[in-house]
Chains A and B, each alone.
Chain A
Amino acid sequence: AQKVTQAQTEISVVEKEDVTLDCVYETRDTTYYLFWYKQPPSGELVFLIRRNSFDEQNEISGRYSWNFQKSTSSFNFTITASQVVDSAVYFCALTYNSGGSNYKLTFGKGTLLTVNP
């Protein structure tokens, strides 16, 4: 079964702290894609990053970094020097091939991050 687990329901940090959001996934497929989305209070889910199963290289984008480890089926997201504007719900998601050219997307339950000034 395809599954995404975000064990942290809520995290609260003080501005400038580093914070890591955990994501663990389950899939039987050898080809799959992992995503992170941000949902600020305005409601729109914003795509942050995509990683395919053959690329375990970690990625850094400004204060954001992602650590993909197939050995532990994890795709963790770290925010360095957090800011109040980072406060949002963050979703991890997994796309897998459900047959032919059909792909299905499974979301985790999300982690609510609150960054306090």
Chain B
Amino acid sequence: ETGVTQTPRHLVMGMTNKKSLKCEQHLGHNAMYWYKQSAKKPLELMFVYSLEERVENNSVPSRFSPECPNSSHLFLHLHTLQPEDSALYLCASSQWDRGNSPLHFGNGTRLTVT
């Protein structure tokens, strides 16, 4: 399998649930990202991991907890979410130390919080 794979594609969860989003990249990249895309809003960078170390956390609420166990896998653990957290969550990977390295995105997880 090639590219960036995200699971699940769709997720509906209540505000008291705990769930996790999974991302896997098969491109040999050393950086992985979580983006949030809400309707009518620009892409929001949430977290960046480079060589499994978190290098950026853009003031994301603690109900979102990322985990990067190795350079190929990235998780986003969700708990006690709010309805406004409903969005498309996109994972991406790239070569961190090359400014000309494009991001490769997964298909995203469409999250609905009820």
Contacts and interface: CB of A to CB of B under 8 A. Distances in A.
Determine the interface band of chain A, counting residues with CB < 8 A from chain B: 20 to 34
A44 B88 CA distance: 10
A47 B104 contact: yes
Interface string B13-55: 0000000000000000000000000000011010000000001
B97 interface: yes
Contacts of B90: 43-45
A96 B99 CA distance: 7
A43 B97 contact: no
Nearest to B105: A45
A92 B96 CA distance: 19
A25 to B, nearest CB: 14
Contact of A109 (B42, B97, B104): B42
Interface in A58-109: 91, 95-97, 101-103, 105, 107-109
A69 B6 CA distance: 37
Given A43-B90, A43-B107, 4 more contacts: A47-B103, A95-B100, A96-B99, A103-B98
21 contacts: A32-B99, A33-B100, A37-B103, A42-B107, A43-B88, A44-B90, A44-B105, A44-B106, A45-B90, A46-B105, A50-B100, A50-B102, A95-B99, A95-B100, A102-B55, A103-B97, A103-B98, A103-B99, A107-B43, A108-B42, A109-B42
